[in-house]
Each structure stands twice: as structure tokens, then as C-alpha cells.
Amino acid sequence: MRKALGLTQTEMTLNGKIISVGQYSKVENGIHEIGVDTLLKLLTAHDEIDIQDFFVNLEENYSKVLKKDNEEYSAEILSEKLMLAFYRNDLAETRRIKVKYR
């Protein structure tokens, strides 16, 4: 998303004020994880990013990967699905995930 917006890592992190540029680079490269609070700060710091669209696209991308690989949900993907349902206040989806992946 950062690249699609034409932002540098420095611009995305507001000059390292939200997260250090080095740490952000490690997140982008899959070396470190990012906390939800930091992710939300990054997303809300840029008016051109719609948070709901971000999470919807995230869910769609995970679904495509899973369908392609025919794998069960990993704990990370399941966590993302639960987080998305939480932010949507979708209790029914949360229950469905709980029942399906018990």
C-alpha cells in the first residue's frame, strides 16, 4: 500500500515518529511483526488510506493465498480474520470462526 501511494518508508512512518524507519523496514520485509496499535497509527496518519478498505483487502489477499495453496488457516491468518471481525463489530463472524476452527 505504501508503494502504491508513492510514499517512502520515511514518509510512511512520519519521519520515524510512529515507528523507526529501520523497524518499519523489517516489518515490510517480514523480519519483525507490527502491533495493532502501531499499524493503526500508521494507517490513520495518512488521509489517503481508508482503514476499512485496508482490512477488507487484507482479508481478500489472505483468502486468495489460502485457496491457491489449499492449506488450513494458520494461527496468523486466523488472528487477522478475528481482528477484522472485531473491528467490524461482527459478532456472528467471530462465532463462525470460533466454531469452524475449534
Q: Are residues 44 and 55 in the same domain?
A: no
- Residue 39, pLDDT score: 92
pLDDT band at 72 (very low <50, low <70, confident <90, very high): low
Q: Are residues 36 and 55 in the same domain?
A: no
* Selected residue with higher pLDDT from 43 and 69: 43
Predicted confidence (pLDDT) per residue in 20-41, tens digit = 999 999 988 878 888 888 999 9
Long-range contacts of 67-75 (CB under 8 A, 24+ apart): 73/101
- Residue 56, pLDDT score: 79
Q: Are residues 42 and 69 in the same domain?
A: no
Q: Which domain holds residue 5?
A: 1-49
- Residue 41, pLDDT score: 93
Q: Are residues 56 and 26 in the same domain?
A: no
Q: Are residues 41 and 54 in the same domain?
A: no
Predicted confidence (pLDDT) per residue in 76-88, tens digit = 677 777 788 887 8
CB 99 within 8 A of CB 91: no
CB 99 within 8 A of CB 82: no
- Looking at the 3D structure of the chain, how many domains does it have? 2
Distances (CA, A) of 12 to 25, 35, 86: 11, 16, 25
Q: Are residues 62 and 99 in the same domain?
A: yes
Q: Are residues 62 and 40 in the same domain?
A: no
- Residue 70, pLDDT score: 47
Phi, psi (degrees; rounded to nearest 5) at 59: -65, -45
